[in-house]
Structure 1
Amino acid sequence: MAFVRKALLTVAVLGAGTGVGVALFALVTPGELQKQAMLKEIPEQDPRRRDEAARTQQLVLATLQEAAATQENVAWRKNWTVGGSGRSA
């Protein structure tokens, strides 16, 4: 009988803890209007930010392509946007 009582008490405590966790999660989860407002504030939604990110990716790709085509160690360059201005490997 003591085993059954202990098992029921354990289940009740775990259930109460789960219930508190679910209630807290429901309280802090943003509603649909808050989600929409948060999505509008994402930096990637700004066209200038997207253009800047695309330009940065183009520069990185161009640097990688140039590094693959030459024997120069491009890591030594002070200005990576200008070709051929660093020390050789």
Structure 2
Amino acid sequence: METLRRSLIVGALLGAGAGVGSALFVLVSPGEQQKQAMLKEMPEQDPRRRDEAARTKELVLATLQEAAATQENVARRKNWMVGGGGRSA
């Protein structure tokens, strides 16, 4: 009988904790309008930022392709914007 009583108490405490946690989550989570406002403010939504990220990816890909095609250690270049063709000073 004591075991049943303890398990009911533990179940009630766990249920109460889950209920409090769920209630806090509902209170803290943003609404739909607030979510839309946050999405508009994200840096990825700015066209200039997207273009800059695309250009950076292009430069990295070009550098990797050039590194794969040459024996030069392109990581030691002082100016990454200039293509190889020998050792860069």
**TM-score over 0.5 for the alignment?**
yes
Q: Which runs of 5+ in 2 are unaligned?
A: none
Give the Cα separation in 2 of the matches to 1:24 and 1:46: 33
Aligned to 1:86: 88
Which structure 2 residues correspond to residues 16-55 of structure 1 after superposition, within 5 A? 16-55=16-55
> Could you tell me the percent identity over the aligned residues?
75
Query: Secondary structure of the residue that 2:60 maps to in structure 1?
Result: helix
Q: Which runs of 5+ in 1 are unaligned?
A: none
Alpha-carbon displacement from aligned partner over 1:27-76 (angstroms, at most 9, x marks no partner): 11110000000010111110000110011011001101111111000010
Query: Secondary structure of the residue that 1:37 maps to in structure 2?
Result: helix
**Letter paired with 1:86:** S
Question: Contact conserved, 1:63 with 1:81, CA < 8 A, in 2?
Answer: no
RMSD value, Cα: 1.2
Give the Cα separation in 1 of the matches to 2:10 and 2:54: 56
Q: 4+ runs of 1 displaced by more than 6 Å? A: none
Aligned to 1:13: 13
Bigger relative contact order (CA 8 A; separation at least 6): 1
Q: Per-residue deviation at 1:80? A: 1.2
**Letter paired with 1:74:** V
